[in-house]
Amino acid sequence: MARIRESGSRTAARIFRAVWRSSPISRIEIAESLGLDKSTVTNQINHLIELGLIEEIEEGEASSRGGRRPIELSVKRSFGCIIGLEIQVETYEAVVVDLSGEILAVKRGRIHINYDNLADVTAEIVRKIEAGFKKGQRLLGVGIGIGGLVDSKKARLRYSVPLRIDKPLDFAKAMDGKISVPWSIENDANCCAWGELSFNKRDDQKNVLFALVEYRHDESSLEMHGGIGVGLGIVLGGKVYTGGHGNAGEFRSAFCDGPGELQFSLSKTELARLDSDKKVLIRTTDELARNLAMFVNTMDFDRVYVGGNIEGLDIDFPAMLRKRLQENWMYPWPKDVEIRYSSLKEKAVAYGAAGMVLERLVSERLLPGLSE
């Protein structure tokens, strides 16, 4: 591989990203993977260590001749933390994570969201969480996940059934000056996809579907859509896919007749019994599985994650989806798709929102010390 010479924050950011994505990793591995001169890598790593972004660790086995174990590099978890938020109309879920993705704290609370107070309530949640930080703990960024149509690049909320927002909201303008660190807002299912991309270090996270399935018991959710909400986070070619109009991942069952706000063919009254009536639960989740099976086969995803509090319901949804996937597949060889729960349950959106903003901090060189 041809060697290139770089200097400055761009090179430091590339090296930090390599450590963040692949730690523990050696200096030689970094130089080879990025095509950089060894002296450049050494100088920039020294700089990153001085900043406190990365640290040296002893990793692996010593040689047969004895001596020290190889010195490798890892992100320094204590450098700072990220807050990830999931905002619902009456509740919020928040996680505080370090640079490696380890959850340091989980916060939940009751709120009341409307068009006019969304930004103020969000900023107040962040202030309360930050006020509880330990001495020396530094906030680096905030990720916000909500249900609805979100233009993440312009930070605009176009429409949200769960939040009862039926007209565009310029969230960037509403949040101006309310949070002092970088922040991002995104659709909740897309946040889940970002979480897998950012914190799951597998190299084969190229074509992935994240199915976010949440059942809410609050009166507002039951009244609006029977309590159950489904959104899809789509990863194609290692990137979150948002579609030509930013609406990719919006779900409504193919078995629904006519327009409406329900995502399934069952009635609102039936859906409200989902967690207490096993027959309703099976009908609803099987309908979801049949829809997803066609989509997964058509798009040829490698992996499907299922997240949200569906993980706590009395159903093995991955097994149900796997069955429908095989039935929908018309060829003689078996369909090779990994299907599993995300294991994050109700924390999936908040955790993903943290991963989303951390990805932005790294890619846009917004971490302290990485900016120009």
Q: Is-above-0.85 flag for pTM?
A: yes
Per-residue exposure over 128-163, b if at least 16 CB sit within 10 Å of its own CB, e if not: ebbeeeeeeeebbbbbbbbbbbbbbeebbbbebbbb
* Tens-digit pLDDT profile for residues 119-136: 999 999 999 999 999 888
Give me the mean pLDDT over the 103-127 stretch: 96
Say what the pLDDT of residue 7 is. Answer: 46
What is the C-alpha separation between 27 and 59, in angstroms, rounded? Answer: 13
CA-angle at 215, arms to 211 and 218, nearest 5°: 145
What confidence tier does 79 reach under pLDDT thresholds 50, 70, 90? very high
Give me the mean pLDDT over the 196-216 stretch: 84
Q: Inform me whether the pLDDT recorded for 65 exceeds 70.
A: no
What confidence tier does 5 reach under pLDDT thresholds 50, 70, 90? very low
Give me the mean pLDDT over the 327-355 stretch: 91
Starting at the edge strand that comes first in sequence, how are the strands of the sheet with 156-159 ordered? Answer: 149-151, 156-159, 169-170
Say what the pLDDT of residue 63 is. Answer: 53
DSSP secondary structure string for all residues of 180-216? SS-EEEEEHHHHHHHHHHHH---TT-SSEEEEEEEE-
Percent share of the chain, pLDDT over 90: 63
What is the C-alpha separation between 370 and 372, in angstroms, rounded? Answer: 7
CA 286 to chain centroid, in Å, comes to 25
Mean pLDDT of the chain: 89
Ordered domains of the chain (ranges, CATH): 9-75 (1.10.10.10), 79-192+349-363 (3.30.420.40), 199-345 (3.30.420.40)
Which tokens in the block code for residue 294?
Answer: 């066609």
DSSP secondary structure string for all residues of 318-356? HHHHHHHHHHH--SSSPP--EEEE-S-GGGHHHHHHHHH
SS3 state of residue 239: strand
* Tens-digit pLDDT profile for residues 34-52: 999 989 999 999 999 999 9
Say what the pLDDT of residue 245 is. Answer: 85
